[in-house]
Structure 1
Amino acid sequence: MTDKLRRASGGQVVYAELKRQILSLELPPGRRLFEPELSQQLQVSRTPLREALRLLLAEDLVDQLPTGGMVVRSLSAEEIDELYTVRAALEGLLTAEAAERMTDPAAETLTRLVARNERLVEFAEDAMTAGHDFHLAIAEIAAHGWAARLHQQVDGQMARYRAFTNQSQLRRSAALEEHRGILDALIGRDAARARELAEAHALTARDTALAAIGERLP
């Protein structure tokens, strides 16, 4: 990554790397971002670094301190509640639309993704990725432009919280069963049932995330 950063012009690659570190919690919530330290670590000048920090600030991934410095935005129970509630509404809409547009090839694609989720259910990170891919595929099938754009925006903000939703094997197995139920509703072209199950799935993930980070919050 360092060589790529060194070759890059502008702050886009620096921004992408810092965003990755923030979303993966490699840069933990509350961490003060010191420009000299980051500049040395990433081996870039202050100009692209400051551009990257401005982009992160615009995305609400960092907060600006009164002194002018920046800090990684803290985890927030209120933010979890808001993000997952909005996600539930959007995924309900997208899943209902996907049911209406379901084709045999789309059903085969989703079936393969759920099967992949099943194979990886014992591995937290892999299961999370597999489940996420299932939801992204539903959004693509739905072909609802505005809902998809809003879902993408919310999804990006949720990345810091997603890992908290599948830490236990019990929850990963339950999420897999929820995905199977959503898949059955989609294959059956049952839009109302698909919407109901998708919304319930997102709200259960919200509750799991809230419980998981409870000890991290002051």
Structure 2
Amino acid sequence: MSTSASPRRRSGAQFVYEELLAQIQDMRLEPGQRLHETELASALGVSRTPLREALRLLLAEDLLEQLPTGGMVVRRLSPRDAAELYAVRARLEGLVAAAAAERAEPTDVERLTAFVQRNEALAGLPEGAMESGHAIHVEIERIADHAWASRVLAQIEGQLARYRRFSNASPDRRAAALAEHRGIVEAIAAADPARAGARAEEHVLAARRATVAQLEVSLDASTGAGSSGSRLRT
């Protein structure tokens, strides 16, 4: 955790929330890890009051779990949670892609094509593929301008961010995801909402299968597999 002067100048519940959220999403705070208020407050350079407010927000978002003793731990990863989150995301992404196909201007298609080219250049790198692939979805969401779909996607993004890395673990899956991204963009460029929506939904469901499978392998290999969620085949 950062101990630089900058966080101290930015003390407050919002800063603490954003910093802890980032650490949960990128696994610096690991699933199942217990949080100690004194250590966190010292590391972030804040008082206990904004820290506790931020922890309450993260608890409300189900990113933390309350222990019977009153402490908190980072919510454990679960194949079941992953499957359910991706199922919801698939429907929303299909809706968003269809809306983007109805709204996209030539300049939007040019931007999407550039995003796909970047995704292709980074497909060999798990982190690069994850970030550039996610950027395509963000751009499609911008083009779609579907306020309610965006709100719901934002609500589940905190959870999805922790699982996204599992869908990019395999080179074969990264190659398949790239091809799927191309297909979605081609459908948007063709102004074909039905095809764009179907391809986006299929893409997310493929990511769901890869994520659940990879997560189960990871949990089986860890000592905490038994307490991290039931196995789920899709």
- Amino acid in the other structure paired with 1:110: L
Question: SS of the residue aligned with 1:25?
Answer: coil
What are the superposed Cα offsets for residues 122-153 of structure 1, whole Å, 9 maximum, x if unpaired?
A: 11111111110100111111111111111222
C-alpha distance in 2 between matches for 1:102 and 1:20: 32
Pairwise CA distance, 1:45: 2.0
C-alpha distance in 2 between matches for 1:210 and 1:36: 35
1:68 corresponds to: 70
Q: Does 1:153 align with 2:155?
A: yes
Pairwise CA distance, 1:35: 1.1
Pairwise CA distance, 1:185: 0.8
Q: Does 1:120 align with 2:107?
A: no
1:56-135 aligned within 5 A:
56-135=58-137
1:52 corresponds to: 54
Pairwise CA distance, 1:178: 0.5
Aligned-residue CA RMSD in angstroms?
Answer: 1.2
Pairwise CA distance, 1:8: 2.0
Question: SS of the residue aligned with 2:169?
Answer: coil
TM-score, length basis structure 1:
0.96
Aligned length: 218
2:146 corresponds to: 144
- Amino acid in the other structure paired with 1:80: A
Pairwise CA distance, 1:207: 0.7
C-alpha distance in 1 between matches for 2:157 and 2:196: 20
- Amino acid in the other structure paired with 1:176: L
2:182 corresponds to: 180
What are the superposed Cα offsets for residues 28-54 of structure 1, whole Å, 9 maximum, x if unpaired?
A: 111111112222322322122112111
1:157-172 aligned within 5 A:
157-172=159-174
Identical amino acids, percent of aligned pairs: 55
C-alpha distance in 1 between matches for 2:12 and 2:105: 43
What are the superposed Cα offsets for residues 183-206 of structure 1, whole Å, 9 maximum, x if unpaired?
A: 111111111111111001000111
Question: SS of the residue aligned with 2:191?
Answer: coil
Question: SS of the residue aligned with 1:213?
Answer: helix
C-alpha distance in 1 between matches for 2:26 and 2:12: 23
- Amino acid in the other structure paired with 1:192: A
C-alpha distance in 2 between matches for 1:52 and 1:99: 38
Query: Is the deviation greater in 199-208 or in 144-153?
Result: 144-153
1:12 corresponds to: 14
Question: SS of the residue aligned with 2:73?
Answer: strand
What are the superposed Cα offsets for residues 86-145 of structure 1, whole Å, 9 maximum, x if unpaired?
A: 000000001011111121011101001001101111111111111101001111111111
Pairwise CA distance, 1:160: 0.4
2:196 corresponds to: 194
